[in-house]
Amino acid sequence: MGEVVDDRLRVKGVNGLRVIDASVFPGHVSGNIMATTYAVGEKGADIVKQDDGRYLTQTDSGTA
């Protein structure tokens, strides 16, 4: 089965669409996937903010 999203959680072949949920996992996860799903959500939010450009962190703006 091929990948549907790229490493920035963008759906391949569709502009302006991301998937940020448990469906991006490459295989079946045994046990409770809640913590892993939360981690994907947190990372996805960071990616969206980085790509938007309006959200700069202190290290991004050059001030520490």
Encoded tokens for 23 = 């469906």
Helix, strand, or coil (residue 5): strand
Res 60: pLDDT: 54
Q: Which amino acid is at 4?
A: V
Question: So where are the chain's domains?
Answer: 1-58
The pTM of the whole model exceeds 0.75: no
pLDDT in tens, 2-59: 689 999 999 999 999 999 999 998 888 788 889 889 999 999 999 999 998 787 666 6
Res 39: pLDDT: 92
